[in-house]
Structures are given as structure tokens and as C-alpha cells.
Chain A
Amino acid sequence: MSKVTQPWRAELPSPLEELILRMLVEHGKMYGLEMVEASDGQLKRGTIYVTLQRMEKKGFVKSEQETQLAGATGLPRRLYSIDAPGEKALRMSELAAAEFGGGEVAV
């Protein structure tokens, strides 16, 4: 039996991942709870961190520990930003949506 390969399928983000990628494009660097608040209930506080870690593994996003100023209180946050494969995946997702949904892609 011949194996059907669909390379585009593996690179497409899930709807939640797409939402996160869109937010990162719009806002730049963000941290987990900030994304939850910005998503209007679409993202959950308990699941966002695991989703972000899996996205980082896939290469969609990159993260860095916040550099704290002297005298700052609290633990340093992890800030996420979109990476090149994430931008590509978002673009492909938009193209796929335009292809199958009849929408237009912003150039």
C-alpha cells in the first residue's frame, strides 16, 4: 500500500495554536496569563502553559526568561514570541482557510 504524504498537514497549527500565533503577531512578546486574558475565554489558565510548551517544541514560538531589574519583586516570567516556523504555519493556515473557505488573504 502506498503511503500518502501530506507535508502541509503536519505544519498547520490547531485552532488554539493559531489563536496564540495571531495574538503573538499582534502584541509581540506575551506571557501565559496575559494571553488567557486577551483571548476572551478561548484559552484556559490550566492548559495554556502545556500548549505553549508543545508549540515551542514544534518551533512555532520561542521563549525567554524575563530579565528582572534590581530590586524587582516576584519570580521572573517566561515571555513568548512568534518564531519563523510559526509565522510560516500561520501563513499556511490563512492560505488553507482562504482556499477552502473562500476568504481573502491579507498580503
Chain B
Amino acid sequence: MLPPTKLGLRMMDEKRTWMMLILCIPTLIHVVYLSVVLCWFIFANGTRFWIESAKNQLQLHAETFSLRQTIAETRADIDYEYHLALAENRLHDARRIRFEGRFIVLKAVAYDLVVTFFEYATDNVKNLFRLG
């Protein structure tokens, strides 16, 4: 058998390189694909879990007392101020109170939700450290 020439050796090296690349690409694709799937699984489920628990908490909050009470209380106070202004013939004030009243209710609800969510998050973090 004749010894391989330099050209032959080079061709074999190139072939090997190509073969390596051809073999590597699917492996790389699989690794990337699996990583993406794994990340999605972890984050999506994690996020879903957090969103679900936050939703449950807010629903509970809305169903129980606080949010309803906030809305009812704000509306009652605005209603009283509005009727008082009407009774005292302060029509401009009455219109202003009625207009601003909607924003006050919205602000109160938003603040209530934000505070509740932060209280919930704080409790969760505390529990996390307690467990750890």
C-alpha cells in the first residue's frame, strides 16, 4: 500500500472537518432547542404560578372585604359631598365633586390593589426566608 500524499492527507482533514460540522450542527440544534424548551418550561410555569397565585389573592381580596369596602366608602363620601354642595346651592362645586369623584374611586382602587399586592409579596418573601 502506498503512503498517503500531502494532498490526500489534506483532503482527509477537510473531510473530517466537514464530517465534524455535519455531525455537530444537529447536536447544537438539539442542545439549543432543549435549552429553550427547558427555559420556557421553567419560566412559563413559574410565571404562571405567580400570576395564578396573585390572581387568587386579588380575587380573594376583592371577594372578601377590602376592595368592596374601599369602593363603597369612597362613593359614599363623594355622594355625601355632592349632595351637600347641591343642598347649599354650590352648583360649581357639585359638578367638580362629581367629575373628580370618578378619579378618586379609581385612585383608591389602584392604591388598594398595589398595597395588597405588595403586602402579599412581602408575606411571600418572609415565608421564603422562613422556609430557607
Contact = CB atoms under 8 A, between A and B. Distances in A.
A49 B76 contact: no
A75 B75 contact: yes
Interface in A32-84: 32-34, 44-47, 49-50, 52-54, 66, 73-78
Interface residues of B, number: 22
Interface residues of A, number: 20
A31 B80 contact: yes
Interface in B88-125: 104, 107-108, 110-112, 115
Contacts, number: 61
A44 B115 CA distance: 15
Given A50-B70, A50-B115, A78 B107 contact: no
B80 A74 contact: yes
Contacts of A53: 66, 69-70
Interface of B: 66, 69-70, 72-83, 104, 107-108, 110-112, 115
